[in-house]
Amino acid sequence: MNREELHFRSADNINMIHAVIWTPDEDRFDRPVGIIQISHGMVEYIGRYEHVAQYFTDRGFVVAGNDHLGHGQSVTDSAEWGYITKEDGSRCIVHDLHHLTKLVKERYSEYGRLPYFLMGHSMGSFMARRYMMMFGSELDGAVILGTGNQPKAAIMTALILSKAASAMFGGHYRSRFMNRLMFGRYNSRIVDVQTPNDWICSQRDVVDKYNATPECSFIFTADGIQALMRTLNYIEDKDNIRHIPKDLPIFIASGRDDPVGDYGRAVRQVYDTFKHEGISDVTLKLYDGCRHELHNEVVKDELFDAIYGWMCDRMNR
């Protein structure tokens, strides 16, 4: 696998976005079989998906992804982690994803129209769902991991609190109270909790590495929370959901022990909503004994095999 880094200007016209493109070894593949773009989660960065890229480049895919605004190397100072932008942060993040789509498609245009899939995890799955509503015609399929829904009242409460915090203390303000409000109950079903982030994965080494990584150890700002809540508000609106192309294949997967998906219930709600709105090809898989980061769980190889098989089926239709 080969790895290339690049930068492009964000849709906010202020920040530079850091991106990575992983490509198959040329001695094994004379042309890509398709392209996968990854939208990473909250309080992490695209480099944590290197093993995902390895699996799919080994099978001939080009894999690309960027650090969202306020994440990873798309900031110049760690003080900016968790701060999105003065602009509409949700819209800017999705437009940045689309910008990368256009860059990657142009780079590989010599091979004709390659199948193009978007894979989003957690907050990245929320952004991917908004992308499907805004730019769904750009895709041949979408993979949604670690997703969920939130009650309207909870979204509006978080928006009101984060706006008030921004007004009083500025958009960079980090509220431990709001952080506890958002994530404080996520460990409630776990026996023998050892860290506040045990809910992300049942694999101790994954959690320990996550906790030891500065890019995964910050508290989201009031501005960042507003961007997240606006995204949730957008993607749960039925009028926006109806903009997803009815023939767009969608693969949804989650752990049954994932609190973000309300232990499978909210994930099934997303699935049922898509089906109710007439999307013809929606697949749902729930994995027993698995928490939030399904792609880092003990079943990750089984998950990757399922996604690969699903993609191959759609590419061969």
> What does the pLDDT look like over 140-160, one tens digit per residue?
999 999 999 999 999 999 999
Tokens found for residue 54 = 């390895």
pLDDT in tens, 234-279: 999 999 999 999 999 999 999 999 999 999 999 999 999 999 999 9
Instruction: Give pLDDT, residue 26.
Output: 87
Strands 61-66 and 34-39 come out as: parallel
pLDDT tens for 178-197 read 898 888 899 999 999 999 99
State the pLDDT confidence band at 27, using cuts at 50, 70 and 90: confident
Query: What pTM was estimated for this model as a whole?
Result: 0.96
Average pLDDT over residues 99-110: 97
The average pLDDT across 121-131 equals 98
Instruction: Label residue 86 by pLDDT band (50, 70, 90).
Output: confident
Q: Is the pLDDT of residue 3 over 80?
A: yes
State the pLDDT confidence band at 31, using cuts at 50, 70 and 90: very high
Place 212 in a pLDDT band, splitting at 50, 70 and 90. very high
Tell me the domains of the chain and their CATH numbers. Answer: 2-149+238-315 (3.40.50.1820)
Name the nearest CA neighbour of 33 among 53, 56, 52.
56
Q: What is the mean pLDDT of residues 45-63?
A: 98
The arithmetic mean of pLDDT across residues 67-74, rounded, is 98
Confirm if 231 and 92 have CB atoms less than 8 A apart: no
Question: Would the pLDDT of 87 be above 90?
Answer: no
Residue 317 has pLDDT above 80, yes or no: no
